[in-house]
Amino acid sequence: MSAEITDDRIPFEVKDCALVAVSTGKKAQNLRELRDRLMDIHLGSIYFHFWGGLLRPRFDDPQFNNDFASWVHYAIHDDDLAERLGVIDPTDFEDLETLRQELIDVIEQRLEEVEPHWALPDHEFHFIRSQIVVFDTKQRISEPAELGEALSKMSLGSIFYHFIDARRRPPLGVGDFRSWLSGFGEKYQELCGDLANVDPYFVNLTELRETVSAVVKNYFRRV
């Protein structure tokens, strides 16, 4: 879905997506190595290790939402640092570069407190970066009033693409649903505000789909 301003004659184009994992060949076995690799790792790797878990099959409820915190907890058993990394919300940062610096700052602070913990040889942190593959579902939404019901039936990949990944595309931090609604002028400003208040990070995609759908449906019940 293009993030450009539209009008009421242009329908919302529903896309689906998948994240393709690509090895960077870089790994870390302790906190100092993790810090050093973070300094110049491809930004797509930062993105993957924060957001990629939403699209990966999971058979349990993960304790942490990002891979850095999970590795620190399970591989080097530093629960203090794992908690600090685990509460980092990527939506609080204007771009991935700023998020990268936050990770480095948190790890450097911990390195000033303790000696680096080491992971076992077969438990290194492997840096993966992502490439997104986008599909056109051919589904179109003509009117904003149709959006709530359409959202409840969208694939999880569509929710990820339009509500999460779209925030990396201009206008930055907005997302495709709000961008499309803004094309109707001030009419749906309140709804756009309601959607802006939804934090997509600390929930899974199924919960996010339910929340966003409910926000839209509740708005149209009120008006």
Through-space distance between the first and last CA atoms of the chain, rounded to whole angstroms: 26
Q: What is the pLDDT of residues 16-53, one digit of tens each?
A: 999 999 999 999 999 999 999 999 999 999 999 999 99
Please, which pLDDT band fits residue 211 given cuts at 50, 70 and 90? very high
**For residue 165, which amino acid is it?**
D
* Same domain, yes or no: 145 and 102: no
Q: Are residues 67 and 108 in the same domain?
A: yes
CB atoms within 10 A of CB 219: 20
Q: Residues 27, 114: one domain? A: yes
Look up residue 214 and give its amino acid. A
Structural domain including 112 reads: 18-129
pTM reported for the whole predicted model? 0.89
Asked whether residue 144 is assigned to any structural domain, the reply reads yes
71, 125 Cβ separation under 8 angstroms? yes
- Give the Cα separation of 29 and 34 in Å (integer): 7
